[in-house]
Structure 1
Amino acid sequence: MKSARDAIRGVVEAIRGRRTPEAELVENFLVVWDPEQGVRLYRAGFYGKPLGIPKPKTPEFDAPLILDLMEGLYLMEKGLLTVYKEPGRKTITPKELLQIARKLHEDFDLKYTVYQQLRNQGLIVTPGIKYGCDFVVYKRGPGLEHAPYMLTVKKPDDEITATEIVKAGRLATTVRKRFIIAIPNEKTKEVQYLMFKWFRA
Structure 2
Amino acid sequence: MSPRWKGKTAEAKALADPMSKIVSDLQSSLLQSDAHASLSGSSVLLPVEPQHGELLTRACFGRPIITADKENQWFQLSLEEAFYLSHHLQCLKITHHQGTNFTTAELWRYMKSKVSNFPQYYKAYSHLRTKNWVVRPGSQYGVDFVAYRHHPSLVHSEYAVLVLSEGESGGDDGLEGRLMVWSDLYCTIRLCGSVAKTLLVLTVNKNGHGVVSPTALDGYSVEERSIRRWSAEQNREDQMAAAAAAAANGSK
Consecutive unaligned residues in structure 2, runs of 5 or more: 1-17, 168-175, 208-218, 233-252
Distance in 1 of aligned mates of 2:153 and 2:26? 19
> 2:28 — aligned with what?
16
Distance in 1 of aligned mates of 2:151 and 2:20? 16
Distance in 1 of aligned mates of 2:94 and 2:63? 17
> 1:57 — aligned with what?
none
User: Does the 8 A contact of 2:41 with 2:114 survive in 1?
Assistant: no
User: Does the 8 A contact of 2:62 with 2:81 survive in 1?
Assistant: yes
> 1:81 — aligned with what?
92
Q: Mean Cα displacement is larger for which, 6-15 or 169-178?
A: 6-15
Structure 2 CA distance for partners of 1:171 and 1:13, relative to 1, 3 Å = same
1:91-145 deviations in Å (ceiling 9; x for gaps): 1122212111111113111111111111111111111111111111111022222
User: Does the 8 A contact of 2:37 with 2:47 survive in 1?
Assistant: yes
- Which is richer in helix? 2
User: Does the 8 A contact of 1:26 with 1:85 survive in 2?
Assistant: no
Instruction: Classify the secondary structure of the residue corresponding to 2:105.
Output: helix
> 2:12 — aligned with what?
none
Consecutive unaligned residues in structure 1, runs of 5 or more: 1-5, 54-60
Q: 1:12-161 alignment to 2 at 5 Å?
A: 12-16=24-28, 18-36=32-50, 37-43=52-58, 45-52=59-66, 63-77=73-87, 78-86=89-97, 88-157=98-167, 158-159=176-177, 160-161=180-181
Distance in 1 of aligned mates of 2:21 and 2:90? 12
Distance in 1 of aligned mates of 2:134 and 2:197? 15
Alignment RMSD (CA, Å)? 2.3
Distance in 1 of aligned mates of 2:134 and 2:145? 10
Give 1:8 shift. Answer: 6.0
Distance in 2 of aligned mates of 1:109 and 1:125? 16
> 2:195 — aligned with what?
175
Aligned pairs, how many?
187
Distance in 2 of aligned mates of 1:197 and 1:166? 10
Distance in 1 of aligned mates of 2:154 and 2:115? 30
Q: For 1:74, give the aligned amino acid.
A: Y
Distance in 2 of aligned mates of 1:50 and 1:73? 18
Q: Based on CA coordinates, which of the two structures has the bigger radius of gyration?
A: 2
> 2:222 — aligned with what?
191
Instruction: Classify the secondary structure of the residue corresponding to 1:112.
Output: helix
State the percentage of identical aligned residues: 23
1:49-75 deviations in Å (ceiling 9; x for gaps): 11149xxxxxxx973111011101110
> 1:3 — aligned with what?
none
TM-score normalised by length of structure 1: 0.83
Give the alignment partner of residue 183 of structure 2, picking from 163, 166, 180. 163
Distance in 1 of aligned mates of 2:39 and 2:53? 15
Distance in 2 of aligned mates of 1:11 and 1:179? 26
